[in-house]
Chain A
Amino acid sequence: MPGSDILLTLLLVVPTLGGLLILLLPSSNHNVLRGVALGATLLTFLLSLPLVTGFDDAFEGMQFVQHKVWFSVGGFTAHYHVGVDGISLFLVVLTAFLMPISILGSWSITKNVKSYMSLMLLLEAGMLGVFVALDLVLFYVFWEAMLVPMYFLIGVWGGKRRIYAAVKFFLYTFAGSAFMLAALIALYFINEGQSFNIVQITERLTSGEIQLSPLAEALMFLAFFLAFAIKVPVFPFHTWLPDAHVEAPTAGSVILAGVLLKMGTYGLLRFCLPMFPRASVDMAPIICVLAIVGIIYGALVAMVQPDFKKLVAYSSVSHLGFVVLGIFAFNMQSIEGATYQMLNHGVSTGALFLLVGMLYDRRHTRLIADFGGVAHSMPVFSAAFLIITLSSIGLPGLNGFVGEFLILQGTFLENASYAAFAASAMVLSAIYMLWMYQRVFMGKAEKEENRRLTDLNLRELLTIVPMIVLAIWMGVYSNSFLRKMDISIQKVVDRIEDVRQDQVYRVENRGN
């Protein structure tokens, strides 16, 4: 099995220790606290790079695996089992990449800096844990544990309606994953009490060693799907997202949009499709329709938002609808496009929230109407904003195009009308984004305040330039990313294909 085994553990330990270390430092010197947090997140990011360089593109299976027993009682055993494959690899790196940028973007936080930085680091550990966990209990632990820091980050350092948003976020997500807990315990017993090992369970289900009755499979699929659908979010479970995104502090929104939402789609690819393919195929039409509704609804609602943070939040609903559509179109292009789009969205929407936060820092308002002609006073900022806007819309040459194109092509192969509807949303997203850009940046600066805005300082440049570079790199040289995902995604596609061939075979032979 390729890859050193302690690397992933280090990736989890560094932010955790960093978070705890910060608690021991004195709360008076803010710069020290910020420095330590930045250092810890940068270190984590650097540690995540060997994952990419050391990744074996041709190896089918988990890499960088570490596997130890966690606790065991009378045969009921949970393991500390971590590893990455093509699907989770870049999600881990994305998380590690976004964190130092978020910390840099949090320089304007002055209240309780110690707790804030500590919670951010613990949040990072939780998020990384979700993507690398290969044991069902471990996965669930990280999944839920990561809610607590996020809840505090929104609730303490957020905007006016932060408490409502934080509580809604927590309760909605927790309730959604409650059934997942029951389902994963049931999976353990279906696996004949051998283990919670995700890899093993998937393989045994694939080979037919252990089987699920259609009803059991449907129920368990739904249990897992509910948890992930709320996270993604899939329409109509999206109502927590606008509030949470808007009320969270800038860095909180970046992390929410950049990473947390991807956990839902990751879960779909890791659990729903490989473990419950029959149920996935059966439910696919409904889910695709929900995804398309989300795409179009998200785009339409985004168009009429007066608050630009809310506009970006609804655009997230729209973009992730694309991802879900891609996943449930079940072919190589669409799923790979969906996985790639997860990364793209993380970069572009994360960057959007950062930029929006910079405007808010200067003018303390998020209403589009309060702006206009900002390009005159902040030319560099406007250029950066334009590039990210175009990335979000899906202009060829930038990352968004690659993902959306692959998804649409794959979906078209599956069902042309789905693709047609989804494609219409590309126009919609161009409308709302460009219109927002025009209202905020172009034209004359009517309001006096807008003429005196300062352009980006060094720190802000440092946060946004890596995002722009990545957006361009991912748009131009996508192969460097896509080829690493091939094998793992092929496995998922094959699994679904087997089930569909089976169904076709059965239908054809019904007459005999």
Chain B
Amino acid sequence: MLLIPSTQTQQQAKLAYVALVGIGIALLAALTEWGASEVAFSGTISHDNFAVFSKILFLFAVGSIIAVSIQYLEENQLLKAEYFSLLLFATVGMCLMASSVNLILTFLALEVLSIATYILAGFQLKQMKSTEAALKYFILGAFSTAFLLYGIAFIYGATGSIQYFEIAATVDQMQTYPLSLLLGVGLLVVGFGFKVALAPFHVWAPDVYEGSPVPITAHLAVASKAAALIALVRFLYQVIPDLGPEWQQILWFSSILTMLIGNIAALTQTNIKRMLAYSSIAHAGYLLVGVVALNDLGSQGVLFYLLAYAFMNLGAFTVVQLIGRQGEQYVNIQDYVGIGFRYPFLTVSLSIFLLSLAGIPLTAGFTGKLFLFAAAIQSEMYWLVVFAVIASAIGVYYYLRILVYMFMHESETDSGGIHLPMIARVIIVIMVLGTLYLGVFPGSFLHFASEAVNF
């Protein structure tokens, strides 16, 4: 469902609530659309469970980001209408990407999302880092979009169509796959790979995540990444499953590289936003394991893991934002020393999110990884799972380190000044409940995920 944002120039928190209402209505509309299966707008949009699931995910993610942003913006005197309009525009882009079955529409939606996010990344006008982040993101993003477009051109040249179903039909008929098609797919993967921050196209992520305002970092890590991945999955699974062996190879390497780079680089980080950035990169690697598996369990696993990932990361970033306080003063890992028992609500929640990211059982992160690994084993990709397992084990260290600092060290000074508005509390509780519920009773959401993969 699409939203029409408004651009009024008022500097009040009321705007946020307007945005939230809009998101809420869209969410309700999406929820009622479950079970639909139709193609509309002359074959450019497919309204199916996959799209609905994705939209619910995006709307939920953006909704919580908006809710949490209110305090952030107030504290940093950034409460401008453009912020919410841009976020809503980005949401439009994401929802379109989820439904799109036309290459040009996918590209268009991706651009809408990207441009909105470029600006949002630089929203902290007073900080050099933010502007730098926005510029880096913009330049590299534009570069990758060029790849995407080039790939689309090649695919059109090879198959004579930009509509997914037509392309699928054409590819089905082919005896051998022309070089132009393979090139096109490769370029497309590179384009999406950048957006999802897969290795070796991930280099922008740590800097951009670090420089952006925390709620936007959350957006980049969760919503934006999920949207790109979902669009990629739709294309790979719906259009060119026959080309499986070809693209599986590339993504297999990318997955291993991503998981290892993400986890190893995160070990040495001192800034928590950068650490979470590398952790997101690593998680994209795990998700890719499910994508590469090319079976039902894989696609279900990817959707389930995206949901789990949303809960964990949104929660973690919210806590990071609150602990960071005004002006993001305290975003170094050293700032977490000794706060464990002083702010139990925040630190226990963060512990749950970090343990979930690490993949400890009883959390959503574990059940998600279980499905992804199972999908890969079912496809007999044993080495992939071995690497994934090793990467997971490496990853535990840096998540654990935060816990150690929080609970096992004594802190010398108490800087105080952590504000816990009710909205933030509610969001954190929802995320904790989601993380634990998906970890202990994954059945119901798994059911939705399995229904969602019936394109």
Bitwise interface map of A from 176 to 199 toward B, beta carbon under 8 Å scored 1, else 0: 001101100110110000000000
Do A175 and B393 touch (CB < 8 A)? yes
Closest Cβ of chain B: how far from A1's Cβ, in Å?
26
Given A148-B355, A166-B404, 5 new contacts (CB under 8 A): A71-B367, A163-B409, A178-B389, A182-B385, A185-B373
Bitwise interface map of A from 458 to 499 toward B, beta carbon under 8 Å scored 1, else 0: 000000000000000000000000000000000000000000
Within 8 A of B (CB), among A122-147: 137, 140-145, 147
Do B389 and A71 touch (CB < 8 A)? no
Closest Cβ of chain A: how far from B367's Cβ, in Å?
8
Within 8 A of A (CB), among B194-239: none
Taking the complex as formed, is B177 at the interface, i.e. its CB lies under 8 A from any CB of chain A? Answer: no
Taking the complex as formed, is B446 at the interface, i.e. its CB lies under 8 A from any CB of chain A? Answer: yes
- Number of B residues, CB within 8 Å of A: 38
Within 8 A of B (CB), among A68-88: 70-74, 76
Across the interface, name the chain B residue whose C-beta is closest to A142. B361
With A141-B366, A155-B404, A174-B396 already in contact, the answer to whether A182 and B450 are too (CB < 8 A) is no
Taking the complex as formed, is A319 at the interface, i.e. its CB lies under 8 A from any CB of chain B? Answer: no
Closest Cβ of chain B: how far from A9's Cβ, in Å?
14
In the bound complex, residues from chain A placing their C-beta under 8 Å from that of B393 are 171, 174-175, 178
With A178-B389, A178-B393 already in contact, the answer to whether A74 and B296 are too (CB < 8 A) is yes
Bound CA–CA A85/B300 (angstroms): 37
Taking the complex as formed, is A112 at the interface, i.e. its CB lies under 8 A from any CB of chain B? Answer: yes
Bitwise interface map of B from 379 to 400 toward A, beta carbon under 8 Å scored 1, else 0: 0001001100110110011001
Within 8 A of A (CB), among B106-125: none
Closest Cβ of chain B: how far from A364's Cβ, in Å?
19
Contact of B408 among A72, A141, A155 (CB under 8 A): A155
Interface of A is mostly: helix
Bound CA–CA A388/B26 (angstroms): 69
Bound CA–CA A166/B404 (angstroms): 9
Taking the complex as formed, is B52 at the interface, i.e. its CB lies under 8 A from any CB of chain A? Answer: no
Contact of B361 among A141, A156, A167 (CB under 8 A): A141
Bound CA–CA A179/B366 (angstroms): 14
Taking the complex as formed, is B278 at the interface, i.e. its CB lies under 8 A from any CB of chain A? Answer: no
Taking the complex as formed, is B1 at the interface, i.e. its CB lies under 8 A from any CB of chain A? Answer: no
In the bound complex, residues from chain A placing their C-beta under 8 Å from that of B366 are 141, 144
Do B442 and A178 touch (CB < 8 A)? no
Do A72 and B355 touch (CB < 8 A)? no
Bound CA–CA A71/B377 (angstroms): 19
Bitwise interface map of B from 433 to 455 toward A, beta carbon under 8 Å scored 1, else 0: 00000000111001101100000
In the bound complex, residues from chain A placing their C-beta under 8 Å from that of B373 are 181-182, 185
Closest Cβ of chain A: how far from B353's Cβ, in Å?
13
From B407, B408, B409, residue with most partner A Cβ within 10 Å? B408
With A171-B396, A185-B377, A189-B378 already in contact, the answer to whether A145 and B361 are too (CB < 8 A) is yes
Taking the complex as formed, is B371 at the interface, i.e. its CB lies under 8 A from any CB of chain A? Answer: yes
Bound CA–CA A171/B397 (angstroms): 7
- Number of A residues, CB within 8 Å of B: 37
Do A76 and B371 touch (CB < 8 A)? yes
In the bound complex, residues from chain B placing their C-beta under 8 Å from that of A188 are 374
Bound CA–CA A145/B382 (angstroms): 25
Across the interface, name the chain B residue whose C-beta is closest to A154. B408
Bound CA–CA A166/B408 (angstroms): 10
Do B400 and A73 touch (CB < 8 A)? no
In the bound complex, residues from chain A placing their C-beta under 8 Å from that of B310 are none
Bound CA–CA A427/B296 (angstroms): 60
A residues apposed to B, CB below 8 Å = 70-74, 76, 112, 115, 137, 140-145, 147-148, 151-152, 155-156, 162-163, 166-167, 170-171, 174-175, 178-179, 181-182, 185-186, 188-189
Do B389 and A179 touch (CB < 8 A)? yes
In the bound complex, residues from chain B placing their C-beta under 8 Å from that of A182 are 373, 377, 382, 385-386, 389
In the bound complex, residues from chain B placing their C-beta under 8 Å from that of A140 are 361
Taking the complex as formed, is B360 at the interface, i.e. its CB lies under 8 A from any CB of chain A? Answer: yes
With A73-B450, A112-B341 already in contact, the answer to whether A145 and B362 are too (CB < 8 A) is yes
Across the interface, name the chain A residue whose C-beta is closest to B448. A73
With A140-B361, A178-B393 already in contact, the answer to whether A76 and B374 are too (CB < 8 A) is yes
Bound CA–CA A186/B374 (angstroms): 8
In the bound complex, residues from chain A placing their C-beta under 8 Å from that of B355 are 148
Taking the complex as formed, is B292 at the interface, i.e. its CB lies under 8 A from any CB of chain A? Answer: no
In the bound complex, residues from chain B placing their C-beta under 8 Å from that of A162 are 408
In the bound complex, residues from chain B placing their C-beta under 8 Å from that of A143 are 361
Bound CA–CA A156/B341 (angstroms): 11
Do B389 and A181 touch (CB < 8 A)? yes
Closest Cβ of chain B: how far from A120's Cβ, in Å?
16
In the bound complex, residues from chain A placing their C-beta under 8 Å from that of B361 are 140-145
Do A70 and B443 touch (CB < 8 A)? yes
Bound CA–CA A189/B385 (angstroms): 14
Contact of A71 among B341, B392, B408, B442 (CB under 8 A): B442
Do B449 and A73 touch (CB < 8 A)? yes
Do A170 and B408 touch (CB < 8 A)? no
Across the interface, name the chain B residue whose C-beta is closest to A137. B370
Bound CA–CA A185/B408 (angstroms): 35
Do A185 and B374 touch (CB < 8 A)? yes
In the bound complex, residues from chain B placing their C-beta under 8 Å from that of A170 are 396, 400
Chain A to chain B contacts (Cβ below 8 Å), 27 pairs: A70-B443, A71-B441, A72-B446, A73-B297, A73-B443, A73-B446, A74-B297, A74-B300, A76-B374, A141-B361, A144-B360, A145-B361, A156-B407, A162-B408, A163-B404, A163-B408, A167-B401, A167-B404, A170-B396, A171-B393, A175-B396, A178-B390, A179-B386, A182-B373, A182-B382, A185-B370, A186-B377
In the bound complex, residues from chain B placing their C-beta under 8 Å from that of A144 are 360-361, 366
Bound CA–CA A175/B391 (angstroms): 10
Bound CA–CA A112/B340 (angstroms): 11
In the bound complex, residues from chain B placing their C-beta under 8 Å from that of A174 are 393, 396
Do A71 and B446 touch (CB < 8 A)? yes
Within 8 A of A (CB), among B343-387: 355, 360-362, 366-367, 370-371, 373-374, 377-378, 382, 385-386
